[in-house]
Amino acid sequence: MNNAMKSFKDTLSTAKNVLILSGSGVSAESGVPTFRGSGGLWRTYQATYLATPQAFKANPSLVWEFYEYRRDVASKVHPNKAHEAIANFEKKLVKEGKNVTIVTQNVDGLHQRAGSNNVLELHGSLFKTRCTECDNIEVNRTIPICPALEGKCAPDPDVMSSDIPVEELPRCQKNSCGGLLRPHIVWFGESLDEEILDKAEKMVETCDACLIVGTSSIIYPAAMFAPRVAERSVPVAEFNLEDTEATKHFQYHFRGPCTVTVTEALT
């Protein structure tokens, strides 16, 4: 173990209120593609194009095909050693009367499936829907989410959109609403949930140690959380395969696959 890892582990052993920020890199070794990595294309589209209200308005069928594919992937993969180390670390600290909060940009639910309890999903969830008419939010794990999407979600570049009529896309079941459902995901240009953002902000202002795992730190407001923690002179450790936009702000940088580095830091 190198000296930096020893030093960060010492810090963690006295910490009482730990913030763990995660991005898609934490799920990469489970088989979930990252956004800006080589698996970031679905058909011929960048995920960052499809994750917009404009794309949903222009072609709700295409966007539902994309999200149905991702729901399918996320439901078939398993949490990895990094998710597990984070979940076990939370359990251990809670037993000692301390707090661990996981603020994730991920929508795949893998932290919770690994056993983490205190998870704030900044960008929503693949397994929740929101009605475009009445705003009702529901948990939905049924795959396919509606019969019309069955077998229509292949990621290959030569597959065309099925142009499913909106009446056959997922519809709101609450009372007699019947409105078009959308994934409960925060798309580009959309605001984050105020309550979740407030809780995350509180952790940014009060934590006494911070880990930032598997994120490129380019999407706001999440990108500014760890640099703001570091500004308070609180130790922040970044776990990534490479340097990021934010690396210069942090006291520690552990390069490598997070299943190895995070496990070493937390166990």
Active site residues: 123
Query: Is the bond into 221 cis (omega within 30 degrees of 0)?
Result: yes
Q: Residue 27's binding partner, choosing from Zn ion, ligand BJW, none, with beta-carbon cut-off 5 to 8 A by kind? A: none
Q: CA-to-CA distance for 93 and 13, rounded, in angstroms?
A: 10
Q: What DSSP letter does each residue of 114-127 carry, written as one string?
A: HT--SEEETTEEEE
CB of 204 to ligand BJW, least distance (A): 15
Which residues 6+ apart lie within 8 Å of 231 measured at CB?
A: 249
Q: CA-to-CA distance for 157 and 151, rounded, in angstroms?
A: 15
Q: CA-to-CA distance for 20 and 40, rounded, in angstroms?
A: 24
197 part of the interface to ligand BJW, by CB under 6 A: no
From the list 79, 191, 173, the residue with the least C-alpha distance to 131 is: 173
Residue nearest to ligand BJW (CB): 25
37 part of the interface to ligand BJW, by CB under 6 A: yes
Binder among 219, 227, 251, 264 for ligand BJW (CB under 6 A): 219
CB of 243 to ligand BJW, least distance (A): 9
Residues from 229 through 248 that contact ligand BJW (CB under 6 A): 239-242, 244
Q: Residue 219's binding partner, choosing from Zn ion, ligand BJW, none, with beta-carbon cut-off 5 to 8 A by kind? A: ligand BJW
Task: Give the x/- contact pattern for ligand BJW in 124-153, rule: CB under 6 A.
Answer: ------------------------------
Q: Which two tokens stand for residue 236?
A: 């922040």
Per the rule left: phi > 0, alpha: psi between -120 and 50, beta: everything else, 175 is left
* Helix axes 194-206 and 222-231, enclosed angle (nearest 10): 20
25 part of the interface to ligand BJW, by CB under 6 A: yes
Binder among 71, 123, 184, 249 for ligand BJW (CB under 6 A): 123
53 part of the interface to ligand BJW, by CB under 6 A: no
What are the residues binding ligand BJW (CB under 6 A)? 23-25, 28-29, 34-37, 48, 51, 105, 107, 123, 185-191, 214-216, 218-221, 239-242, 244, 257-258
